[in-house]
Structure 1
Amino acid sequence: MSVIIASAVLSAAAFYWYVNRDKPIKHILKEIRYALDMQGAGAGGLIDDWINVSRNRIALPDAAGKVAVVTGGARGIGTEVIKGLLKANMRVIIGIRNPELVHKLSESMENGQNLEAYKLDLKSLKSVKEFADNVLHKYPKINLLVNNAGIMYGKYELTTDGFESQLAVNHLGHFYLTHLLLPALKKAGNLCEPSRFINVTSCGHYPGQIYFDDINMKEHYDETAAYAQSKLAQLMMARYINKIMEENNIPVKGYSVHPGIVNTDLFDGTVFKRVFPWAMKLFFKTPEKGAVSILFACFNEELQKRGGLYISNCIEGISNRFSKNLEYQKILFELSCQLVGIDAENFGNTE
């Protein structure tokens, strides 16, 4: 059996080299390593989901009168998170590229009358600013911010602001939005019940690192490495921004959440879905189950004492060593501030 597996791996590597033979061998080897490491992270995520399936539960509170902002949500995990927030009687504002979809969504959800949407394109800092302005004009106090929207893989693309698209959507757009909405989060929070922001990351961060000298990966783009970098950045910034809040006695807590290996359209176009579509339905979480850990981060009272936590299956998840390095967190924070055009010393101070 081991001979068969080894032969299959070698054959796959040879085929990959042939298809990408125009690239330098060092880049090919790096891409193969990332692909294998990502498969390992995914397998670990599946095992974690199976072992801790019984931990995935959340009792929704009555949060009437409170306000939540969610990015994405027209489909997949985001839709299920919104359903949970509405069931908790919250007012929910979603940022999506096509706000007209909210009418159809609201009709299919309990308390759908409490749902509204504004246009948001995370590939554009201008759109992020306009979205935040629209929200703050109507809601000066916000109790929850769920940075949920995301993309995975795809060809190299720079946004209008000059950022690699996965970095822009998954990290920088949400980083800028958190900065813009922090004044409203501060106003809504108090020491007994802090406001919260949640970055929806992934176990796919585990093979990742931050390419500080080439964060847009212009020298050599690897879609897997770019995805891992963007998800790692979300985890690191939840920790670092939470640290800033705690050091300044500000009643806002930050968390990052891996929702599990979930059967969503993020996998559309991947080799795995083309080859094993049946496996996704059989082994992956449903979007409804994937939303549970995110809702846990939104509402669990015990988490008030554990700001900055990385959560998987409603318990502390296993994060990589890079994400825990405080110096790397600080460098990434300052670089992110520079990229989106804000003063690091005044992060979250927009008034």
Structure 2
Amino acid sequence: MSLIIASVAVAAAALHWYLNRHKPIKHILKELKHDLDTQGAGLGGLIDDWWNKGRNNIQLPDASRRIAIVTGGARGIGTEVVRGLLKANMTVVIGIRRPKLAEQMAKNFENGGNLQAVELDLQSLKSVKSFAENILKKYPVIHLLVNNAGIMFGDYKLTEDGFESQLAVNHLGHFYLTHLLLPALKSGGSIGEFSRVVNVTSCAHHPGTIYFDDINMKKYYDSASAYFQSKLAQLMSARYINKLMEEENSPVRCYSVHPGIVNTDLFNGTMFQRLFPWAMNMFFKTPEKGAVSILYGCFEKSLDKQGGLYISNCREGISNSFSKKVDNQRRLHELSCKLIGVDVVKYGKDFS
């Protein structure tokens, strides 16, 4: 395994230099470091998946009459999360850009009649608000929110709201949606039967940081750094929002989950996929196995006393030190509120 990763790192370094030889050397070296960080995080994730594969399991409960909202869900890990929630007899509403994709899913899934789809584009705050409004009209009480949808890498792009696209989809869209749905989640929870918010993050948060002074990375963009930042933000937000919920004695708990290194189409076009497609089939988790830790975050009763936990392979995962500092969490929360236009003191309290 380590030989494969080392080979990938060498090949990636050589190819990266060749493709970017027109750039200033300081930029090439910075991007190369991020490529190596990516490989290191991936190796650590693969080792964690292998070492703890025996822990990666969940017994689905009977969650009849409970409502789950899932972003994404029409492909990859999200599809398997939806399958598990339906098996647990939940009513599941997925937010996807093309709701008609859910029609075939409903036909093929157990309890597929409990599956609904509503249009959602996380690159647009307007779409997020419209999605939340549609949900709340029908479901004023919600028990579970799984912030699953995500994008990885890609060229620099700003959304209609002026946000870097990975930050918008992976973090800010979900951060806003959580704000809008928190009143319904509070209504759905009770002491001993908490509602939950589950953010799907990644072990790729490890080399990440939050660029507070250039959150949209306009001065200098590197796709890997942007991805690291967005996934770190998801983890930190889960911790801080959970802290807020505990301080106000709200019956909601928040978690972040690394599903493992999973063979999904997010890797399409990446260096690893181009060089070692066979290794992905051999060593990466299937989407079904990747969904297990997320479902664990959704249902495991012992987690009621561990709000804010970062989960990997159905246990507490190792997160970076930056994410654990409350001052960093608070600063990110305040900045995120400013970006989406929500008063900090009204977060999760006022639909706006």
- Give the TM-score normalised by the residue count of structure 2: 0.96
Shift of 1:15: 4.7
Shift of 1:325: 1.1
Q: Does 1:63 pair with 2:59? A: no
CA distance in 2: counterparts of 1:95 and 1:225, whole angstroms: 27
Q: Is the 8 A contact 2:9 2:36 kept in 1?
A: no
When residues 328 and 101 of structure 1 are mapped into structure 2, their CA distance, relative to the original with a 3 A threshold, is same
Shift of 1:226: 0.4
* Structure 2 equivalent of residue 327 of structure 1: 327
Shift of 1:12: 5.5
When residues 27 and 118 of structure 1 are mapped into structure 2, their CA distance, relative to the original with a 3 A threshold, is same
Q: Is the 8 A contact 2:121 2:128 kept in 1?
A: yes
Residues 188-267 of structure 1: matches in 2 within 5 Å? Answer: 188-267=188-267
Q: Does 1:90 pair with 2:113? A: no
Q: Does 1:126 pair with 2:93? A: no
CA distance in 1: counterparts of 2:8 and 2:238, whole angstroms: 40
Shift of 1:172: 0.2
Q: Does 1:51 pair with 2:51? A: yes
Query: What do you get for the CA RMSD once the two structures are aligned?
Result: 1.5
Q: Deviations over 1:154-188 (max 9, x none)?
A: 00000000000000000000000000000000000
* Structure 2 equivalent of residue 28 of structure 1: 28
Secondary structure of the residue aligned to 1:274 is: helix
Q: Does 1:116 pair with 2:116? A: yes
Secondary structure of the residue aligned to 2:118 is: strand
Instruction: Flag structure 2 segments of 5+ consecutive residues without an equivalent.
Output: none
Q: Which amino acid aligns with 2:83?
A: K
When residues 311 and 6 of structure 1 are mapped into structure 2, their CA distance, relative to the original with a 3 A threshold, is closer
Shift of 1:350: 1.9
Q: Percent identity?
A: 69
Q: Which amino acid aligns with 1:108?
A: N
CA distance in 2: counterparts of 1:259 and 1:173, whole angstroms: 20
When residues 346 and 24 of structure 1 are mapped into structure 2, their CA distance, relative to the original with a 3 A threshold, is same
When residues 76 and 242 of structure 1 are mapped into structure 2, their CA distance, relative to the original with a 3 A threshold, is same
Shift of 1:22: 2.8
* Structure 2 equivalent of residue 148 of structure 1: 148
Shift of 1:7: 11
Q: Deviations over 1:188-217 (max 9, x none)?
A: 001111100000000011110000011111
* Structure 2 equivalent of residue 181 of structure 1: 181
Instruction: Flag structure 1 segments of 5+ consecutive residues without an equivalent.
Output: none
When residues 51 and 6 of structure 1 are mapped into structure 2, their CA distance, relative to the original with a 3 A threshold, is closer
When residues 296 and 13 of structure 1 are mapped into structure 2, their CA distance, relative to the original with a 3 A threshold, is closer
Q: Which amino acid aligns with 1:174?
A: H
Secondary structure of the residue aligned to 2:217 is: coil
Q: Does 1:308 pair with 2:308? A: yes
CA distance in 2: counterparts of 1:279 and 1:178, whole angstroms: 36
Q: Which runs of 4+ in 1 moved over 6 A?
A: 5-11
